Chains A and B, each alone.
Chain A
Amino acid sequence: MTAVLPETAASSSESGPQAARPAAGGPRLRRAGLRGLVFVVVLIAVLQVITTLIGSRYFPRPTQIAVALVEQLGDGALVVALLGTLGSALAGLALATVVGVLAGLLLGSSAWAFAVVKWVVEFLRPLPSVALVPFAILLFGVGSTTTILAAFYASLWPVLFNTLYGVRDTDPVAVDSARTFGLSRTQVLRRVVLPLALPNVLTGVRVASAIALVLTITVELLTAAGGVGYFISFMQAAIRTPEMYAGVLVVGVLGYLIALGVQAIERRLLFWNRREDS
């Protein structure tokens, strides 16, 4: 229950087995998808009418935003920004996953190691990571180092703590059996504990992926170091409103795609553990 639960909503629209919905077959899903699409189309149409009627420069028409989006994508500016953001977020996330899983394995399997760092990590975890961004800017300057480090730092905690809880929850019988068969400590960690903790680890990575994106964009907004965050704030400063909204739209798509990607990885790695998330 402590884990963030985005998948409870998301998985039911995909192929996840639905105990509560016996009728979850093809036609029902198709109707749901159609209705969702209808709503999006109607919403855009309504926004088009309203924005045309009020004609405010704060709220450009959806058609204007679409034109700006196509122009910026075609121009390459938005694509470059997008790739920059994606690269920083993924680099931070990858670092956080490696460090978080290793630290989580260590801290989860050793009560002593955990006791040593307990107060420090428990103080740092709830500290809003964006508060460290001004420091990072002073120390590392403006550039991808700062962006990646900020994304890394913030996304480290969910990976670390979820791994730690996963390791603690592993069945002692499985570990002891492996021991009995003569596996060394590292072998047990790698072959028994890590696979058993994998669902938790991946939950952590899923949460972390969203956070990595948030931090990446925050740093880009604050430092003008490129990326979509900078693209949006640049367009805001230039009062090119349609372009600004197009940037926000692209960030949304990026966030959605990252979430889908992590979900796909989860499903692939956890095919043996399907029931866990329904």
Chain B
Amino acid sequence: MAVAVRTPTRRRPRLGAPPRWLPAVLPVMLLALWEIGGQAGGSVYLPPLSRTLRVFAETWFPDVVVHDVLPSLGRFAAGFLLAAVIGIVLGMAVGMSRTLDDYLRPTLEFLRALPAVAVLPVAVFVLGLGTSMRISVIVFGVLFPVLVNAAAGARSVRPERVETARMFGLSRFATARRVVLPSALPMISAGLRVALPIALIMMVVSELVGGQNGLGFYLTYQQQNFDIPAMFAAVIVLGVLGNLLNAAYAAVEKKVLHWARHA
């Protein structure tokens, strides 16, 4: 009888592949439950889906989008890009120079292990509750994963490639740009992928502590107003945003790194 029990994932599953529509069942059920439960339960914490959607449709366009979503996204983009550039440049420098690596490694390891949120009160204290504080907190969260990965990528470049380039008379900078950077790109990209959700988290946290606008600020504001449907709307928007950013990054990565698929 032992033959009858097989793991369904193996090459030829007994049940066949699950139908295409199966993934849609649970979300539909959950949304329906949300609606019914919200209508029937009467709990303040679970407003029906329809009410959440109504709040969303009525108040978000264009007010909340202009007032909160766009500033959040702007700071997210600024912080992420700034940290990416700094992290890649510094990381490549560290990865290409054994000496620099020796000197900086413990410090960088420590800073990477330091959870970026812990720096938030310091940033608020020094920079206040403005845009510069939020962007710098995002930068702090993104910088070290990118830097460490860029360094690892640059370190893993085969030395004979670098030496060949130098032999052909390329300057150190040209070697970095034309030889090391392309070889390190898959690793750099892995670091950026890790950093993407961190940037989003830091964006939200930096707004949760207060301020004038942003999705996180909207969340705390509505929490204080006890406007649960609005909070749900904001969480759903953040979920969609997280998914969109992931998908966008995957698309960019596929386009830029298509040659590294098999590397």
Query: A: which residues have CB within 8 A of B?
Result: 1-2, 4-6, 8-10, 13, 20, 31-33, 35-40, 43, 58-59, 108-112, 114-120, 122-124, 126-135, 137-139, 168, 172, 175-176, 179, 182, 184-185, 188, 210, 213-214, 217-218, 221-222, 228-229, 232-233, 235-236, 241, 244-245, 247-248, 251-253, 255-256, 258-259
Contact = CB atoms under 8 A, between A and B. Distances in A.
Contacts of A36: 102-107
Q: Which 4 A-B pairs have the closest CB atoms?
A: A126-B242, A252-B114, A115-B18, A36-B106
B245 interface: yes
Contacts of A217: 115, 117-118
Dominant SS at the A interface? helix
Interface of B: 2, 5-11, 13, 15, 17-19, 22-27, 30, 45, 99, 101-107, 109-122, 124-126, 145, 148-149, 151-152, 155-156, 186-187, 190-191, 193-194, 197, 200-201, 203-205, 208-209, 215-216, 219-220, 223, 228, 231, 234-235, 238-239, 242-243, 245-246
A120 B193 CA distance: 21
Given A2-B190, A252-B110, A252-B113, A244 B125 contact: yes
Dominant SS at the B interface? helix
B231 A6 contact: no
Given A39-B107, A135-B231, A236-B125, A4 B145 contact: yes
A127 B238 contact: yes
A241 B99 CA distance: 35
Given A117-B26, A138-B45, A252-B113, A131 B238 contact: yes
Given A40-B107, A175-B10, A131 B245 contact: no
A172 B190 contact: no
A20 B114 contact: no
A123 B102 contact: no
B115 A137 contact: no
Contact of A244 (B10, B121, B145, B235): B121
